Amino acid sequence: MILDVPRLSQEVHANEYPEFDGGGEAWCSPTSTAMVLGALGASPSDDELEKFPGPDYGDPQVDFAARYTYDWNYKGAGNWPANVAYATHFGLDGFVTRLRSLTEAERFISASIPLIASINGDLPGFLFGKTNGHLLVIRGFDATGDVIVNDPAAKTNEGVHKTYGRADFERVWLGGSGGIVYVIYPRGKALPPNVPGLPPNW
């Protein structure tokens, strides 16, 4: 269960457009959103990117996402509903919810829907060792159940693909944010069934 999601690093955008949440160092959410949009074939058009003002940086879809997810009241590009709303501009649907386990997350991966997860805490293998709030893309699970992600906290696009231990990841995800995910998916696509016997959470 591994989905094909393009690799985009927030770190390569450091100091770009600092008026939008300080630049790439803070763009884990829009970078993750840009990756999921790319996986679903719903990125900004060439015309949209060409009209975007400013220098011609690489991976302009990340700068574009940061600009248009930026919440002027929140003063940041990491507002969860604002990122989902940005995705709807490209004909997608989405919502923010809390999942109760990685077993629930596996239901979405099996339905070919990558998830953007909010984590907080110490995570072995994470670029900075720990985070006080970070977003990344769950794109699959290996044979042992460990979590395969595209983590935008990487020095290069190539370094975005990572695998985190299942227990380590659940600790910083369920314990850090209560299991928050953005679910972004093609309009009209059927979502996986809820877990029988538990209150529906999507």
Instruction: pLDDT band for 86, please (50, 70, 90 cuts).
Output: very high
Query: Rounded to two decimals, what is the model's pTM?
Result: 0.95
Report pLDDT digits (tens) over 2-22: 999 999 999 999 999 999 999
Q: Summarize pLDDT for 158-195 with one digit per residue, the tens.
A: 999 999 999 999 999 999 999 999 999 999 999 999 99
Q: What pLDDT does residue 59 have?
A: 94
| Local structure of 65: helix, strand or coil | helix
Instruction: Write down the domain spans for the chain.
Output: 11-93, 95-186
- Sign of the torsion formed by the C-alpha atoms of 131, 83, 81 and 19: positive
- Categorize the per-residue pLDDT at 91 as very low, low, confident or very high, splitting at 50, 70 and 90: very high
Q: What pLDDT, on a 0 to 100 scale, did the predictor assign at position 55?
A: 73
Asked if CATH classification 3.90.1300.10 holds for the domain at 95-186, the reply, yes or no, is no
Neighbouring C-beta atoms of residue 58, cutoff 10 Å? 11
Of all residues in the chain, the percent with pLDDT exceeding 90 is 94
Quote the mean pLDDT of the chain.
Answer: 96
pLDDT (0 to 100) of residue 50: 86
State the maximum Cα–Cα separation within the chain, in Å, rounded to a whole number: 53
For residue 1, pLDDT beyond 90:
no
What residues have CB less than 8 Å from 96, skipping those under 6 apart?
80, 81, 84, 180, 181, 182, 183
More confident residue, 53 or 128: 128
Number of Cβ within 10 Å of residue 155's Cβ equals 12
- Helices (runs of H) and strands (runs of E) counted in the chain: 6, 6
Task: Kindly state the tokens that stand for 81.
Answer: 């509903």
Q: Residue holding tokens 């060409």?
A: 50
